[in-house]
Chain A
Amino acid sequence: MPCCPQPDGWVAQAQVWLGTLVEVALPAAESSDTCFAVAFAAIAHVHRVMSAHDASSDLARIAREAHRATVRVDAGTYAVLYLAQQLFRESGGTFDVAIAPLLARHGLLPPVAAGNAYDSGAPWGGMDALHLEPGLRVRTTAPVALDLGGIAKGYAVDRAVAALRTAGARAGLVNAGGDLRVFGPDAVPIHVRTGGPQGVTLPLVEIADGAVATSAYGGHRKRVDGRWATPLVDPRSSLPIMSTRTVSVVAATCMVADALTKVVALRGRAASAALRAYGASATVLSPATGRWRCMRLPAPAPAAPSRVPARRAALPA
């Protein structure tokens, strides 16, 4: 019988998209081939238009043409770029989807993607060169190589959930390799699995309608030119972060949750304002000699001045 890791009475199908395992799970009584088909079709569509490797994707066309003439993109690409631009500003430049050439230099992307040689010496533009214009049009003031690896998976999950709802599903779950969203009348327990060889699985939250995304870097380190690299590069230092922390974000949409995990991983407590702005919360797990330390963000807003030292006042309830 299909389905194992899902709630009792649910069935799941899985396909490979966006470089990971995408699971769609539905209550058995309501599941239909049509539901699974529309959900995977929505994911496949996002995969195609936002691929950094496909020469016909929106990203490839932006890199090739947008500095010469405006490029009309898919509504999904536009929505993702809109949030990316907003988060770039709100995170003080730490959430940056224009650093594909930097990732290529660290060996985390192929040196040539979609016909664009990142190491060609061409002066690649940053986020400030990217302009979103009305009518789903994108213009850049310099060639910009985008990589939406830190946000597109979450968006794809949101699209799949929207497609399931349109198809009449009343409950469901879509999980793209750890970025997941649930909807329906009943709360579903969500666990978080930390990365790395000392991984643990913890109950994180129960939600009926919402998204959880997790970024763990410990298990994804690889050796590049004799140095360790992880897939998350700090645009301020141009160096990959070496943290062994696992960051989970709970938010209303999976796109927001997915993107905010990177802001929290890079900025730590300083990400509290961004989390509050999106009504999101984060759980940061950090290994400490055989145990795990846990921090919840945003920290409660500072109360009215009191005699209690500020540090103690900021402790989670």
Chain B
Amino acid sequence: MMHDGWRILPLAALAVAPAYAAEYMTVEAAQRAAFPDASAFVPIPVNLSTEARTHLVEVAHPPGARDPRVWRAMSGGTTLGTFFADAVIGKQEYIGYALALDAAGRVLRLDVLEYRETHGWEIRNERWRSQFAGKSAADPVEVNRDIANISGATLSCRHVTDGVRRLLALNALLPAT
């Protein structure tokens, strides 16, 4: 069917947009990338008081998915810096990321470990989706993670900035080295 330059795409060519999901680095790989000279990463327990938690929420909305995991990067007896593994959840996305700070608390490196779009809209649009039921098996496109190299609507990373602000505030609350 062609009208005025427009063409209706055959259904077989379509795949319902999979939620974009990618894992880039493990926590260990990000630790090595940020502190190649570290001989050990010592976990630091995060025991925040209610007061401190309230403070962190004031510093940056929305609050993190859960408390970040924190390590001190050590080289022998010397502290090289602090490493955080954290996640932010936005309206559309879940982003796991790692922040490395040097011993003076300055940002050394920020890596995205994992990016995942949330599924809210898919559930809401169940009826629309059902039109494609049974169509995807023969599709040239595999849904989910098999799709490489996607050019598409810009992925949002707004909340990572808030997350970094929160981790910098948290760093100030951690016990001194």
Interface residues of A (CB under 8 A from B): 1-7, 12-16, 19-21, 23, 33, 173, 175, 177-180, 182, 188-204, 212-214, 216, 218-220, 246, 248, 269, 285-286, 288, 290-296, 299, 311, 314-316
Contact = CB atoms under 8 A, between A and B. Distances in A.
A202 B14 contact: yes
B8 A200 contact: no
B66 interface: no
Interface stretch (B41-49, B55-63, B107-115): B107-115
Interface residues of B, number: 53
Contacts of B128: 197-198, 290
Q: Which of A7, A178, A286 has the most CB of B within 10 A?
A: A178
B161 to A, nearest CB: 8
Nearest 6 Cβ contacts at the A-B interface: A193-B152, A199-B17, A195-B153, A14-B112, A216-B153, A177-B154
A265 to B, nearest CB: 13
B151 A193 contact: yes
Contact of A216 (B131, B143, B152, B156): B152
23 contacts: A3-B22, A4-B23, A5-B147, A13-B25, A13-B111, A16-B160, A19-B158, A20-B155, A21-B112, A21-B115, A21-B157, A173-B149, A175-B151, A177-B154, A178-B152, A178-B155, A182-B149, A189-B148, A191-B147, A193-B152, A196-B153, A216-B153, A286-B6
B53 interface: no
A299 B5 contact: yes
Contacts of A296: 5
Interface of B: 2, 4-9, 11, 13-18, 20-26, 29, 33, 36, 95, 97, 110-112, 115, 121, 124-125, 128, 131, 140-141, 143, 145, 147-158, 160-161
A15 B99 CA distance: 11
Contacts of B20: 5, 193
Contact of A188 (B5, B147, B148): B148
B152 A4 contact: no
B153 A33 contact: no
